[in-house]
Amino acid sequence: MSEIKTLQSYLSGQWVAGTGEGSALYNPTTGEVVARASTSGLNLKEALAYARDEGGATLRAMSFAERGALLKAMSKAIHAEREALIEIGRINAGNTRGDAKFDIDGATHTLMHYAQLGEALGDGKVLLDGEPEPVARGGRLKGQHLLTSKRGVAVHINAFNFPAWGLAEKAACAILAGVPVLSKPATSTAWMTYELVKLLEPVTPKGVLSLLCGGAGDLLDHLEWQDVVAFTGSADTGHMISSHPNILAQGVPVNIEADSLNAVLLDPEAEDETYDAFIRDVHREMTQKAGQKCTAARRVIVPRERLDEVIADLSERLKRTVVGDPAHSDVTMGPLCTPSQRQAALEGLARLSEETKVVYGGADVGDRVGLTGDAGAFINPTILCADGPLPASSAVHNLEVFGPVLTVIPVDSLEEAISQAQRGEGCLVTAIYADDSRFLQESIAELSAWNGRLVVVDAQVAEKSLSPGLVTPQLLHGGPGRAGGGEELGGLRGMTLYQQRCAVQGNEPKLSRLTSGAR
Ligand code: NAP
């Protein structure tokens, strides 16, 4: 058996270990314990103060271009150790090579994107928000909105499924906005984040990036009103954080990215190219990272007359999905990240199966390359099928099974398709595969208030279109309602969580001179 790694935290500019045994981190392919992390006894009040004082002052002294250069150095430092990080993704999260690259390259790409935004913003430290507005007759008295760095620390609490990208996408926005970061990855897959912060330490000024590896302890008790929390995880934990007494008392802003029952719609008249892209993308969303993406498709809403064709074509693709030990190069889908995630997914599958029938896969242990017995946190890719439109109370519209499981829902009209999609009550993303203009217009008009992002694929873009689950730094990530109501990324929009908007009112010519360094 290989050595068990102890993960330390990086707080107040030092690597520190908590006391006691701490929590175990597993290899989900074998069930072996591979690392441990404890935060017991760590002084989180002091760590937050250090980040605010030391890291905040350093970042605020830097221009946008200098912060951009820092993000570029961070991106390069991660990329240089890509192969070693891919191996950690395999060991601690059951990632195939492709899945680990998706996480790690997503991190470097997002950091680089924000590095370029910083470079383009140049020497300023403050952003102008809109044009000067006259506030009284006579012309001299005007107001200008500014966006300036908050004086606190950005506390980033992340989910287990993206230990690299989760750190980077949040940190890129906060650091470019001039706010230091304390990142808390989910304990179960924190090894990747720990290695990332080790790599980033030499290029990151003290206090700019802190790491808490293990349970959150009393972290929330010490937050102050200039701090910000950005959370990704389950709706229950998000609710617990946003209703924490100190968060409420201090008025700390909390951005929440939570569960989402993402939908996919297929137009009955979809052309062949559009249909092929639909099958390609639904299959990828199901199997990439074993379905453990917050943006993965969960509900596939199809015209009844195409139901059999859709199930046959998806099943055909799934037969070519090789499940097993990600150490084998021909394996294309690994296990879920933890045994408890597998248990939760099996329970969820059983609940959905009460309302649907299994048309592919199911709860039985299937064939797994390189493994015998029932070791490992594996779930078969599974397609469930409903008889028809389901009521709002249905588990299919309310329960996110965080694994390679989706439900196909047959409908008889565009109106039925839209109303089924809306029953997710707020999604990160809905994808629409259509060529008919009425289908496109009505679904976009009716679904935009229910989603943070709509992905529209027609025959002309089918070949080049990005899979709906791919989050890009240019576009918003987040969604209303069940998805948490949060907003991340979206280019410069991603910085606003970490900025204070202030309206400065006064004598216009003087104001213009004072704000001439702002962008
Ligand atoms: P989780 O159990 O809610 O945990 C999320 C994070 O919250 C972890 O870092 C966890 O730390 C931390 N946490 C737990 N209790 C806390 C407390 N009392 N104070 C402060 N932090 C606390 O979620 P998960 O199982 O990691 O992730 C799965 C869920 O995340 C799924 O439902 C999925 O939909 C959602 N998700 C959403 C998005 C999105 O962008 N919308 C992305 C990915 C995942 P410990 O690990 O130490 O307990």
| 294-348 per-position pLDDT tens digit | 999 999 999 999 999 999 999 999 999 999 999 999 999 999 999 999 999 999 9
- Residue 413: pLDDT band (50, 70, 90) is very high
Q: How far apart are CA 486 and CA 196, in angstroms?
A: 25
Q: What is the pLDDT of residues 110-143, one digit of tens each?
A: 999 999 999 999 999 999 999 999 988 877 899 9
Architecture in CATH of 262-483: 3-Layer(aba) Sandwich (3.40)
Measure 302 CA to ligand 1 centroid, in angstroms.
Answer: 32
Distance from the CA of 161 to the center of ligand 1, in angstroms? 9
CA dist 30 and 20 (Å) reads 25
**Residue entry with tokens 């966006």:** 147
Across 244-254, average pLDDT: 98
Q: Say yes or no: CB of residue 187 within 6 Å of ligand 1.
A: yes
pLDDT digits 0-9 by tens, 347-399: 999 999 999 999 999 988 778 899 887 789 999 999 999 999 999 999 999 99
- Residue 470 Cα to ligand 1 middle (Å): 20
Structure tokens at 125: 């430290």
Probe residue for ligand 1, chosen from 234, 336, 337 as the CB with the greatest number of ligand atoms within 8 Å = 234
Instruction: Round to whole Å and give the CA distance between 219 and 315.
Output: 46
Instruction: State whether the beta carbon of 488 lies less than 6 angstroms from ligand 1.
Output: no
Arithmetic mean of pLDDT, 175-201: 98
Cβ–ligand 1 distance for 241 under 6 Å, the answer yes
In the 3-class helix/strand/coil scheme, how is 125-176 assigned residue by residue? Answer: CCEEEEEEEECCCCCCEEEEEEEEECCCCEEEECCCCCCCHHHHHHHHHHHH
Q: Strand 33-37's sheet: what is its strand order?
A: 5-7, 33-37, 23-26
- Of ligand 1's atoms, which has the minimum distance to the CA of residue 185? 9
Give 2 or 83, the one with higher predicted confidence: 83
- Average pLDDT over the chain, rounded to whole? 95
Residue 1: predicted pLDDT: 53
Please give the share of the chain, as a percent, with pLDDT higher than 90: 93
pLDDT attached to residue 139: 75
What atom of ligand 1 comes closest to residue 23's alpha carbon?
A: 47
Q: Which atom of ligand 1 has the smallest separation from the CA of 257?
A: 41
Is the distance from the beta carbon of residue 184 to the nearest atom of ligand 1 less than 6 Å?
yes
Q: Give the mean pLDDT of 5-19.
A: 97
Q: Which atom of ligand 1 is nearest to the CA of 237?
A: 3
- Over residues 86-96, mean pLDDT: 97
| Cα–ligand 1 centroid distance for 385 (angstroms) | 29
Tell me whether the CATH fold assigned to 5-258+486-514 matches the one assigned to 262-483. Answer: no
* pLDDT tens track for 219-238: 999 999 999 999 999 999 99
| Burial class for 20, CB neighbours closer than 10 Å (0-12, 13-18, 19+) | exposed
Q: How far apart are CA 226 and CA 250, in angstroms?
A: 9
Mutate to test the pocket of ligand 1, among 160, 183, 254, 341 (most ligand atoms within 8 A of CB): 160
- Shortest-distance Cα residue to atom 18 of ligand 1: 216
**Helix (H) / strand (E) containing 232:** strand 228-232
Closest CA to 291 of 233, 351, 378: 378
Check if 160 has its Cβ closer than 6 Å to any atom of ligand 1: yes
Q: Which residues have a catalytic role annotated?
A: 257, 294
Residue 488 has phi, psi (to 5 degrees) of -130, 165
436-445, Cβ contacts within 8 angstroms, sequence gap of 24 or more:
436/267, 436/269, 438/414, 439/267, 439/269, 439/414, 440/267, 442/414, 442/418, 443/265, 443/414, 443/417, 443/418
357 DSSP β-pair partners: 385
Residue 193 near ligand 1, beta carbon < 6 Å: no
Confidence check: pLDDT of 516 > 70: no
Helix (H) or strand (E) holding 385: strand 382-385
Q: How high is the pLDDT of residue 54?
A: 98
Q: How far is the CA of 257 from the centre of ligand 1 (A)?
A: 9
Closest Cα to atom 14 of ligand 1: 237
Residues in CB range of 347: below 8 A, 6 or more apart: none
Which ligand 1 atom is at minimum distance from the Cα of 214? 47
Task: Quote the pLDDT of residue 364.
Answer: 83
Residue nearest to atom 21 of ligand 1 (CA): 216
pLDDT value of position 138:
74
Taking the C-alpha atoms of residue 509 and residue 514, their distance in angstroms, rounded to an integer, is 9
**With a 6 A CB cut-off, is 237 part of the ligand 1 pocket?**
yes
| Å from CA of 238 to ligand 1 middle | 8
Domain-by-domain residue ranges, the chain? 5-258+486-514, 262-483
Distance, in Å, from the CA atom of 419 to the CA atom of 437, rounded to the nearest integer, reads 18
Token reading at 328: 């084998």
Pair type for strands 33-37 and 5-7: parallel
- pLDDT digits 0-9 by tens, 457-470: 999 999 999 999 99
Distance CA 120, CA 224 (A): 32
The stretch 431-456 carries a mean pLDDT of 97
- Averaged pLDDT for residues 418-426: 96
CA 481 to centroid of ligand 1, rounded, Å: 17
**Residue bearing tokens 């996110």:** 400
pLDDT at 83 > cutoff 80: yes
Using an 8 Å Cβ cutoff, are 59 and 177 in contact?
no
258 lines ligand 1 (CB under 6 A): yes
The CATH class of 5-258+486-514 is: alpha beta
